[in-house]
Amino acid sequence: MRGRHLSLGAFGEDAAARWYERAGYDVVGRNWRCSFGELDLVVRRGPLVVFCEVKTRSSDRFGTPAEAVTFRKRVRLRRLAAEWLAGSEGARGRLVRFDVAAVHGGTVEVIEDAF
């Protein structure tokens, strides 16, 4: 089951990365990790840096993908983004946005400025 879960997650991250690339963004980070956790996708377009949490589901049995991004998860993502920005050359003065990419049944819905 763990392998299926990981491959489903990788499928969703690949689909979300393609969505951003088609929309004119450059993917500058995937599965970036530090001691606080992991950022799924970091993308850039001009002065904008987007931190995207990707949630992939094969069914709505446990809720929609976007519903899985809880308050605690949003707090952690903000902390992770601050760490990424602190360690990223040229990040000063950039605009920041947090998105959620909900992947379900091969469909990608990106909720821009989700929190």
Distance CA 41, CA 50 (A): 8
Q: Does domain 2-111 have CATH number 3.40.190.10?
A: no
Return the higher-pLDDT residue of 67 and 91.
Answer: 67
Pairing of strands 95-104, 107-111: antiparallel
Residue 56 DSSP SS3:
strand
| pLDDT band per the 50, 70, 90 thresholds, residue 96 | very high
Question: Could you report the per-residue pLDDT of 30-79, keeping only the tens digit for each?
Answer: 999 999 999 999 999 999 999 999 999 877 777 777 888 999 999 999 99
pTM exceeds cut of 0.95? no
